[in-house]
Each structure stands twice: as C-alpha cells, then as structure tokens.
Amino acid sequence: MYTVNLAIMIPFLAAIIVPIIYKRIQKIHIGWFVFLVPTALFLFLVSFIPHIANGETYLYTLEWIPSYNINFTTYLDGLSLIFALLITGIGALVTIYSIYYLSSEENLSHFYTYLLLFMGAMLGVVFSDNIMVLYVFWELTSISSFLLIAFWYHRKSSRDGAQKSLLITVSGGFGMLVGFIMLYVMTGSMSVREIITTISSFHDHALFIPAMLLILLGAFTKSAQYPFHIWLPTAMEAPTPVSAYLHSATMVKAGIYLVARFTPVFGGELTWFWVVTIVGIVTLFWGSFNAIRQTDLKALLAYSTISQLGMIMSMIGISSVALRQGYSVNTVIYTQAAFAAIFHLINHSTFKGALFMVVGIIDHELGTRDIRRLGGLATLMPITFTIAIIGSFSMAGLPPFNGFLSKEMFFTAVLSVRELQFTSEVWMSLIPVIAWVASTLTFVYCMIFVIKTFLGEYKEEKLEHPGHEAPFGMLFSPVVLGFLVIVIFFFPNVLGDYVIKPAMYSIFPQLGAEDLGQHISAWHGFNTELKMTIGVIVLGTLLFISLRHWKGIYNWILPEKLSFNSLYGNSLEKVEDLSKFVTNSYMTGHLRDYMVYIYIFFIIAVGGTLLNTKAFLFDLEQYSSISEFEWLITIGMIIAAIAMLLAKSRLTAILLNSVLGYGIAIFFVIFRAPDLALTQTVIETVTTVLFLAAYYFLPEWKKEDSKRRSKVVNAIISVTVGVLFTTIALAVQSGKLFESVSSFYENAYELAGANNIVNAILGDFRAFDTMLEVVVLLIAGLGVYTFIKLKARKGDNPLEDK
C-alpha cells in the first residue's frame, strides 16, 4: 500500500506520456488529458479528509538508498493534506484555464510536461518525510519553475527572469541542504517526525542555530521574502496560468510549508520567532508599498503576493511563541496565529489565483495589461469585473469575502505580540503598527486594481483589440475560485474543523490536541480588530483619492538604481567582470609563466614544510671519502653545466650536454654499476646524434633576449629550487633509515638462475616495469614516425601549411 507515493509518481509518469499523446492525437487539445491527472488526484486526496480530521496519519516508506537512511518516505497529515489539495485543486483549474489561454500553435507538449513535472515535484515536497527526498523535490520545483518561466524562450526578458529565479531559489536551496545535513549530524535522523521527537535534547548544540538559519534561508528565497523577493516580479514573464499556479498559489508557498513543518523543530527558540516574524512583517510592508507604484497588472499582483506571503510568514513566526512558553490558557492566542496563517494561506490561493486569471483574460482579450492603457471595462466584461471585485476586496480584507476573516485574525495575532516581554514595549507595539500601515497600503493597491482597470473612461484607441467578454472556458476557473472566496466567508468553520484543525496538530505536536482549533465568526464584536479594519478603509480611501499627489515619493525614496534589483544585476555583472579580470591576469598563454607558477608553488609548499618541520638538519659525519679523481669529474661537470647557460652557439650547448652525459657514465663506473655505464654511454651517444640532427633543422640559436627583470626572476627561481632540492636530498640521506630490501635480490641465482642481479631484477623480479618501458619506447617511436610523416589535410590541400 503505497498510495501516497504513487500519487506523487503519477504526474511524473503523465509527464512522460504527454509528448507521446501530443504527437498521436491532434484533434483533442492535449490539456484535457492533463486535466484528468490533478482532478483524479484531488478526488483521491479529498477522500482522506474525514480520516485526517479524526487525527489519523498515513506513513509509507519505499526504500531508495537504505544504507544512507535515504528512503522515499511519505507522511500524510493535516498540514501536507492542505497543500496537496491546493496543488491538485488549483492545478486542475489552471489546466482548464490554460486550455483556453494558450493557442494551439504554442508548443503545448513542453508546457504540460513542465507543468506536470512541477505538480509532481510539489506533491513530493509536501508529502516527503525524509529531508533528503524533500530536498530532491524542492530542487525539482525550482527547475520546473525555471523551465516554465522561460516558456517563451525567444524573449530575452523571459530568459532573464528564469535565470534570476533559478539563481536565487537554488542558492537558497543549497543553503537549506547544508542546514538539513547539519540537522542530520545533530540528530542522526533524516525523518522529520523523528527529528521533532528528539530535537529537544539538541537545543544547545553548536549547529542548532546555523541549521535553523540555513533552513530559513531556503524557505525565504523560495517564498520570495525580503530581500530575496526580487525574483518574483521578473518571473511574471511566464505565461499567466503559470503565474497563477506557481507564483501565487503553490510554489511560493513551499517556503511557508517548510517553515510550518519545521516550527516544531526550531520554534522554541527566540531567534526563530524574531527572524520569521520580522522578515515576514518587513516583506508584508515592502511588498504592499511597492505594489502601488506598479503599472503592469501582473507586477502589481506579484508584489501583492510577496506582501501576502510576508503576512502569512509573520503569523507563523508569532505562533511559535506557543512552543516557547508551553501550553496554557495564555498561549492559546498564539496557536491561533498559526491557525490564521493556514486559513489565510488557503484564502490567498483562492483569490490570488482568480486575480491572476482575470489579468490573463484582460491581457488575452485586449492585448495589454498596462494600467495606463486600461479603463472602463466594467460594462464590457461584466463577469471578469465581478470576479476582480471579489478577489480584490477579499485581498483588501473587506466583508463579505474570506480575506476579511483572515485579516481580522491577523490583526488579533499582531496585537497579541504586544503582551510579550521579549524586549521593550515600544518595539513590540511597532509590529501591529507596521502591519496596520501595510494593510492600508494593501487596500490602496486593491482599489487601484479594480478602479483603474474597470472604471473610469474606456480608451479603445490604446488597445490592440476592442474589449469584449472572454469565452466561457476561460471564465470557468476564476468563477469557481471567486465562488470559493464567498463560500469560505459564509462557512469558514467547515474548513476550519475538517482541514485546518488537523494541520494544527502537525505544527504543534507537543501541545495538547484540544483547543488547537478555533471557531471563526464573521461578526466578532465591535473590538480593536474591527476598528483597525475601519481605519484601514478610511485611510486607504483617502490615500487612494490623493494618489496623484503623493505618488512622487517613490522616485525620491526609491530611485530605480538603488533597488535590490539593480544590486542583483550589478553584482552579477561585477562578478563576471572580476572573474574575467582575474583569469586573464594569470592565464597569460606563456608557458614560462605557468612554469614559474609551478616552481613558486613548489618553493612555497616544500620550502615551507621544511622550515616548519625543521627537517633541513643533516650531519656531514657519515659520508664516505672522496678521491681526487672524483673531485675532478664533479667540478668539471659543474663547470659544464654552468657553461651551458652561457653557450654562444647550439653546438657548444649540445657538446656540453654530452660532456655531462658521459660524466655521468663515468660516475656509474665508479659507483659499481656496469650496466648503467654501458646504457648511459650508448644512449648519450644516440641523444647527441639526435640533437645534432635536430640542430640542423632548427633556426639559429639566439642570444637570450628576455628582459633583465625576468632573467633575474628565472635565476632566483632556479637557484632556489636547486638549493631546496639539495637540502631535501641531504636531509633524506642522513635520516634514520631501515634496512634495504636489496639483500633479497642477492638470491638471484637460486630464484632466477641469473648471475647479474640488475638484469635479474629487470627481466625477472620486476619485469612488468621493463615490459611497460618497452611499450613507452614503442609509443615514442610511433610518435616520432607520425610527427614526421603525417600532416593534416583537407582534400588535396594541406590544412596546416600556409
């Protein structure tokens, strides 16, 4: 029974089949086949709701790499069920929408393959219990998102957007992987459930805080939190169904999922509370502040998504207080922040999906989504207008839409922060103030969205197509989502009791199961939260009316060149320039320079080791005596070697070289090595002949004409290496040695039937060396032959000759 594992694999299997069907069946739009996948999965997952609501969970393990504890383990509980329902449900709606949105001339098989890949990866992220498998699916979502953003790859902006999102999300993903590995090192387990049960004994571990911050980095980059939010607006180059699906409803919530999933692990720490809450609040404010200045509807929605994600994030951050303070009547209010977070997560998916689809319809029917060219569409597109109103008012937090409920709960959460004693009261009360201002700004951009697009005067001359209502197929999905927005407002407790409450057990497994749920009421009395909402409406309306007068502040508060976007662009450019500069500065193309690097490294590494270990000491006592004849040869060879450097002609150099060679042969005689002496003499003779032959063909021997500076450098390097080498040799010579193995070879006659021990070694004891040495000679001979004989030709013309 691996049903959940199978559910993850189905989209991947479908992704393989899609291109095949696409080629075979031309008459029916391929999207209809794809539609079956999320629909079937959705229905399958819906069947789990009653069981999950009863507190059951499902765990399946498929072995993958058991020796490393990496197994394809899926865990179905309340939290993952919510995400999975969103992924499949909105996935199905987006598929229908895309069938009507994309023309059949597009490369549909690519589109749906990527989309199914994404769907499978996303299901994998939410169901995986094993952190390594979770990471695998996490990166798969990054990659499939990259492919989808660059779907129209012939556009430069699409490619740039895809690159930016990949760089940011994958960097965060790597950070997360490191955090996971730290977690594994600490707890010895890769299963999230096991980590939760054992983590309490590791709170003082040195890796605890680094692991927490790295995992948060992964979550923040994926969920477009400040300051990593910059990839989301540029990802709007993707086709609108993709924006609606990935960049509002599912992928950007993977980070939220991760934070919620790891709240039981890290939530007890104060650092967690501060980082998550502050980043969330800042993102909330920054997103809503920036959304107002946008003129592109999709960019506006992108910033609003950033803002809403920040809001959800901050609520999860606030809820972690409950884990810190333990369960009591006083902390119930904090657990309810998590409840509100999940509730708003669902609400956001519904209304933001609908809004993106609305923008897609406008873009598709009118050929533009620039606010400055739109207006007066209300009468032409009544259904679209209605959905836009539902979506925007819900986003602004107005009744009777579901956003109102979650925004009220959000206010409750931020107000509850004031009672915490972590730091001075002034700082604590700043959080609700920022949240309230951000909500006001949210109201303003929601009004911009509705009023500037649909009301006002109709500018037909600026549009590519005259305005008219979209076909039914395109309207179907946004209508369903808009309908959900209202249904959830009127029946929030169905959702709360059956879906959100089980998820609360997943976030707070340490706390008692009772009282984790919450009763949502549309009318909750005339309290502070309601007054705040009224304040939002009043101030928001005033701000919207006076928009023309204060819009200028954006240009002097935030000029384009000071934004994070240009920071990203500039640093990318500078890094490229810098690495180019660095590489060009040392990769000169001169062989001499590379040799100099090698020798300098040798000098530093070996010389440094010698100095460090004081291994350069040696004593001169033990050496054997030197006869006059040996003195003579040695001095003669030293003179020959040095004279070679000063040689005026090639012939002198070659002759001096053979003097050295024969000198060595004489040494071999002195040191009782008859075979060596013989070989050395013969080889030296042949080498000299070879040199003389080459000498005949090579150009004139030129005087050394390099610059004085490089001559000095060469001299210093060669002398240093020579001295170093001599020192090492002396140090090794006088080291304490063990007996040589050579006495074994004195049995040559008994073992090999030979009198000449050296020859016995070469031909018998160590004959492999000899065999391969013969091969070397053979290859060298073949090489010589080919160098002389063969020339690359093309047809009849020699390729190389000029």
Partner 1 sequence: MEILIIILSGVLFTTAIYNLLQKQLLRIIIGTVLLSHGAHLMILTMGKLKTGLPPVLTEGVTDYTDPLPQALILTSIVISFGITGLLLVLAYRTTQENNTDNMEQLRGKSNE
SS3 assignment, position 470? coil
> Least distance to partner 1 from the beta carbon of 717, Å?
7
Residue 701 is a binding residue for partner 1 (CB under 8 A): yes
- 3-class secondary-structure state, position 60: strand
Which distant-in-sequence residues (6+ apart) come within 8 Å of 727 by Cβ?
Answer: 610, 616
Q: Which is nearer to partner 1, 26 or 742 (CB)?
A: 742
3-class DSSP state for residue 456?
Answer: coil
Figure out which of the listed residues 43, 185, 558, 698 binds partner 1, where binding follows CB under 8 A. 698
Report phi then psi at 75, rounded to 5: -135, 115
458 binds partner 1 (CB under 8 A): no
Stretch that binds partner 1, among 134-142, 154-162, 550-558, 678-686 (CB under 8 A): 678-686
Nearer to partner 1, 201 or 742 (CB): 742
Q: At what angle do helices 270-291 and 208-222 cross, to 10 degrees?
A: 20
Does 773 bind partner 1 (CB under 8 A)? Our answer is yes
Site string for partner 1, 193-212 (x = CB under 8 A): --------------------
Contact with partner 1 (CB under 8 A): which of 776, 794, 796, 797? Answer: 776
If the CB atoms of residues 26 and 797 are measured against partner 1, the closer one turns out to be 797
Q: Does 686 sit near partner 1 (CB under 8 A)?
A: yes
- Cα separation, 253 vs 243, whole angstroms: 13
Pick between residue 509 and residue 661 the one whose CB is nearest to partner 1.
661
Backbone angles phi, psi at 436, to 5 degrees: -70, -45
**Minimum CB separation from partner 1 for residue 612, in Å?**
22
Instruction: Lay out the site mask for partner 1 across 102-121 (x = CB under 8 A, - = otherwise).
Output: --------------------
Query: Does 756 engage in binding with partner 1 (CB under 8 A)?
Result: yes
CB atoms within 10 A of CB 99: 22
Closest C-alpha among 351, 304, 349, 343 to residue 486: 351
Residue 702 interacting with partner 1 (CB under 8 A)? yes
What is d(CA 305, CA 348) in angstroms, rounded to the nearest whole number?
A: 8
Tokens read off for 82: 């919510």
Task: Mark residues 539-578: x for contact with partner 1 by CB under 8 A, - for none.
Answer: ----------------------------------------
The backbone torsions φ and ψ at residue 728, rounded to the nearest 5 degrees and listed phi first, read -60, -45
In angstroms, give the least distance from the CB of 579 to partner 1: 21
Separation of alpha carbons 434 and 456, rounded Å: 32
Does 531 help bind partner 1 (rule: CB under 8 A)? no
Task: Identify the residue among 704, 794, 795, 797 touching partner 1 (CB under 8 A).
Answer: 704
Interaction residues for partner 1, span 127-146 (CB under 8 A)? none
Q: Which two tokens stand for residue 477?
A: 């999905």
Residue 204 or 800 with smaller CB distance to partner 1: 800
Looking at 433, 638, 651, 751, which residue binds partner 1 (CB under 8 A)?
Answer: 638
Does the footprint of partner 1 cover residue 757 (CB under 8 A)?
yes
Residues 585-604, mask of contacts with partner 1 (x by CB under 8 A): ----xxxx--xx--x-----
Which residues lie closer than 8 Å to 722 by C-beta, 6 or more apart? none
Would strands 793-794 and 70-76 be described as parallel, antiparallel, or unpaired?
unpaired
CB 352 within 8 A of CB 308: yes
Closest CB to partner 1 among 513 and 683? 683
Which of 535, 649, 706, 793 is the binder for partner 1 (CB under 8 A)? Answer: 706
Residues contacting residue 372 through CB under 8 Å, at least 6 positions apart: 295
Helices 254-266/297-319 angle, 10° precision: 10
Amino acid at residue number 41? L
Closest distance of CB 372 from partner 1, Å: 51
Per rule CB under 8 A, is residue 770 in the interface with partner 1? yes
**Which range of residues in 4-12, 209-217, 319-327, 772-780 is near partner 1 by CB under 8 A?**
772-780
Of 624, 709, 736, 795, the one binding partner 1 (CB under 8 A) is 624
Say how far apart CA 351 and CA 504 lie, in whole Å: 23
Q: Which residues lie closer than 8 Å to 288 by C-beta, 6 or more apart?
A: 303, 304, 307, 438, 439, 441, 442, 445
How far from the centroid of its chain's Cα atoms is residue 135's Cα? 11
| Minimum separation from the CB atom of position 601 to partner 1 (A) | 14
User: Helix, strand, or coil here: 149?
Assistant: helix
In the list 556, 586, 697, 738, the residue contacting partner 1 (rule: CB under 8 A) is 697
How many residues contact partner 1, by CB under 8 A? 98
Closest CB 611 distance from partner 1, rounded Å:
18
Site for partner 1 in 646-665 (CB under 8 A): 650, 653-654, 657, 660-661, 664
Shortest separation between residue 572's beta carbon and partner 1, angstroms: 28
Q: Does 762 bind partner 1 (CB under 8 A)?
A: yes
Over the window 715 to 744, marking each residue x when it contacts partner 1 by CB under 8 A and - when it does not, the resulting string is: x-xxx-xxx-xx--xx-xx------xxx--
Please give the Cα distance from 504 to 320 (Å, whole number).
12
Distance of closest approach, residue 669 Cβ to partner 1, in angstroms: 10
3-state secondary structure 261-329: HHHHHHCCCHHHHHHHHHHHHHHHHHHHHHHCCCCEHHHHHHHHHHHHHHHHHHHHHHHCHHHHHCCCH
Q: Which of 630, 652, 655, 666 is the binder for partner 1 (CB under 8 A)?
A: 630
Return d(Cα 47, Cα 771) in angstroms, integer.
74
Closer residue to partner 1 (CB): 64 or 701: 701
Non-local CB neighbours of 626 within 8 Å, separated by 6+ positions: none
784: contact with partner 1 by CB under 8 A: yes
Q: Does 329 bind partner 1 (CB under 8 A)?
A: no
CB of 203 or CB of 766, closer to partner 1: 766
Paired with 370 in beta bridges are: 296
Element spanning 708, H or E: helix 708-733
Smallest separation, CB 627 to partner 1 (Å): 9
Q: Confirm if 519 and 70 have CB atoms less than 8 A apart.
A: no
Name the minimum Å distance from CB 758 to partner 1. Answer: 5
Min CB(690)–partner 1 separation in Å: 5
